[in-house]
Amino acid sequence: MRAELAITKASTGTVFELRFTTRLVGPCFRCLDDAALELTIDAREYQATSPGESEELRTPYVTDDRLDLGAWGRDALALELPDKILCRPDCAGLCSVCGRNLKDDPHTHEAEPVDSRWSALESLREQL
């Protein structure tokens, strides 16, 4: 994977900037067809020259003057993941009654099927 890394020396520390583009492939959350998602990741970390006890001035990706790009890239990608990966934004999903893909076969059903476990309550409704 190609990535751009910029390290800038500041007067009080070091600024690390990471940029890369990745493609994720998997099932669509709604219809289970194949879905692909292109993500551009921009991440920035700061390491102070003398951080002292302050955790905000220290990056967890620098240990013994070594930058762990793998962990940083993985964490940056995880933070950019969407809640749901969709094959397209207007994906209709699967029919809740028959399970057919509504994208390929848009349809409706005449009446909702009645769950037999509720039949005793249905008879009570008729009495009221």
Note the pLDDT of residue 23.
93
The one-letter code for the residue type at 90 is D
Rg over alpha carbons for the chain, rounded to the nearest Å, is 26
94, β-bridge pairs:
101
- Tell me which residue range forms the domain holding 22: 3-91
Q: What is this structure's pTM?
A: 0.69
Residue 128's SS3 state is coil
Predicted confidence band at 5 (pLDDT cuts at 50, 70, 90)? very high
Note the pLDDT of residue 36.
93
Say if residue 59 is in the same domain as residue 19: yes
Say if residue 83 is in the same domain as residue 99: no
Say if residue 72 is in the same domain as residue 105: no
Say if residue 78 is in the same domain as residue 104: no
Could you give the CA distance from residue 111 to residue 46 in angstroms, rounded to a whole number? 60
Say if residue 76 is in the same domain as residue 35: yes
The one-letter code for the residue type at 66 is R
Residues whose CB falls within 8 Å of the CB of residue 114, separated by 6 or more in sequence, listed in order = 122
Say if residue 109 is in the same domain as residue 121: yes
